[in-house]
Amino acid sequence: MASTKYIFVTGGVTSSLGKGIISASLAKLLQARGYKVTIQKLDPYINIDPGTLNPYEHGECYVTEDGAETDLDLGHYERFLDITTSQSNNVTTGRIYQNVINKERRGDFLGKTVQIIPHITDEIKRCIKLLGSKSKFDVVITEIGGTVGDIESLPYIEALRQLRWEMGKNVLTIHLTLVPYLKAAGELKTKPTQHSVKMLLENGVQPDVLVLRTEHKLTKDIKKKVALFCNVEQESVIQSIDVNTIYEVPLLMQEEKLDEIVLKKLGLPVKETPALEPWKEFLRRFKNPKYKTTIGLVGKYVELADAYKSIIESFVHAGAANECEIDLKLIHSENIKNENYESALKGLNGIIIAPGFGHRGIEGKILAAKFARENNIPFLGICLGMQCAVIEFARNVLKMDEAHSSEMNRTTPFPVIDLMEEQKGVTEKGGTMRLGGYDCVVKKGTNAYKAYKKNLIVERHRHRYEFNNAYFDDFEKAGMKATGLNPETGLVEIVEIPEHKWFVGVQFHPEYSSRVIKPHPIFVEFVKSTINK
Ligand code: GLN
Q: Alpha-carbon distance 267 to 100, whole Å?
A: 35
Query: What pLDDT does 112 receive?
Result: 94
Which positions ≥6 away from 209 have C-beta within 8 Å? 172, 173, 174, 175, 232, 236, 237, 238, 258, 261, 262, 265
Share of the chain above pLDDT 90, in %: 93
- Asked if the model's pLDDT at residue 116 lies above 70, the reply is yes
Q: Ligand 1, closest atom to CA 358?
A: 1
235 is catalytic: no
Band (pLDDT 50/70/90 cuts) for residue 80 is very high
- Partnered with residue 213 across adjacent β-strands are 178, 240
Q: Are 502 and 494 in contact (CB under 8 A)?
A: no
Residue with CA nearest ligand 1 atom 1 = 357
Q: Check pocket membership of 420 for ligand 1, CB cut-off 6 A.
A: no
Gap from CA of 507 to ligand 1 centroid (Å): 8
From 463, 467, 492, 507, give the residue whose CB has the most ligand 1 atoms within 8 Å, as the site to mutate: 463
User: What secondary structure letter does DSSP report for 49?
Assistant: S
Band (pLDDT 50/70/90 cuts) for residue 140 is very high
Gap from CA of 464 to ligand 1 centroid (Å): 6
Angle between helices 220-230 and 191-202 (to 10 degrees): 20
- Asked if the model's pLDDT at residue 127 lies above 90, the reply is yes
Look at 58 and 398; give whichever has higher pLDDT. Answer: 398
Mean pLDDT score, 480-504: 98
Share of the chain above pLDDT 70, in %: 100
Mean pLDDT score, 43-52: 93
Mean pLDDT score, 10-39: 94
Q: Check pocket membership of 370 for ligand 1, CB cut-off 6 A.
A: no
Query: What pLDDT does 156 receive?
Result: 98
- Asked if the model's pLDDT at residue 1 lies above 60, the reply is no
pLDDT by residue (tens digit) across 275-332? 799 999 999 999 999 999 999 999 999 888 899 999 999 999 999 999 999 999 999 9
Gap from CA of 390 to ligand 1 centroid (Å): 13
pLDDT by residue (tens digit) across 445-476? 999 999 999 999 999 999 999 999 999 999 99
User: Could you count the other beta carbons within 10 Å of the beta carbon of residue 75?
Assistant: 27
pLDDT by residue (tens digit) across 370-390? 999 999 999 999 999 999 999
Q: Check pocket membership of 311 for ligand 1, CB cut-off 6 A.
A: no
The backbone region for 382, taken as left when phi is positive above 0, alpha when psi lies in -120 to 50, beta otherwise, is beta
Query: What pLDDT does 455 receive?
Result: 96
511 is catalytic: yes
Q: What is the pTM of this model?
A: 0.95
Q: Check pocket membership of 384 for ligand 1, CB cut-off 6 A.
A: yes
Among residues 127, 230, 324, 383, the one annotated as catalytic is: 383
- Asked if the model's pLDDT at residue 158 lies above 80, the reply is yes
pLDDT by residue (tens digit) across 196-205? 999 999 999 9
Query: What pLDDT does 274 receive?
Result: 73
pLDDT by residue (tens digit) across 209-251? 999 999 999 999 999 999 999 999 999 999 999 999 999 999 9
Band (pLDDT 50/70/90 cuts) for residue 2 is low
Band (pLDDT 50/70/90 cuts) for residue 414 is very high
In a 13 Å sphere around the CA of 37, the CA atoms on its Cβ side amount to: 25
Gap from CA of 454 to ligand 1 centroid (Å): 26
Q: Alpha-carbon distance 72 to 75, whole Å?
A: 5
From 61, 300, 357, 460, give the residue whose CB has the most ligand 1 atoms within 8 Å, as the site to mutate: 357
Residue with CA nearest ligand 1 atom 5 = 384
324 is catalytic: no
270-301 burial, b at 16+ Cβ within 10 Å, e below that, comes to eeeebebeebeebbebbeeeebebebbbbbbb
Gap from CA of 463 to ligand 1 centroid (Å): 4
From 464, 509, 511, give the residue whose CB has the most ligand 1 atoms within 8 Å, as the site to mutate: 464
Q: Check pocket membership of 223 for ligand 1, CB cut-off 6 A.
A: no
- Asked if the model's pLDDT at residue 416 lies above 60, the reply is yes
Residue with CA nearest ligand 1 atom 6 = 463
Interstrand relation of 456-463 and 434-442 (parallel, antiparallel or unpaired): antiparallel
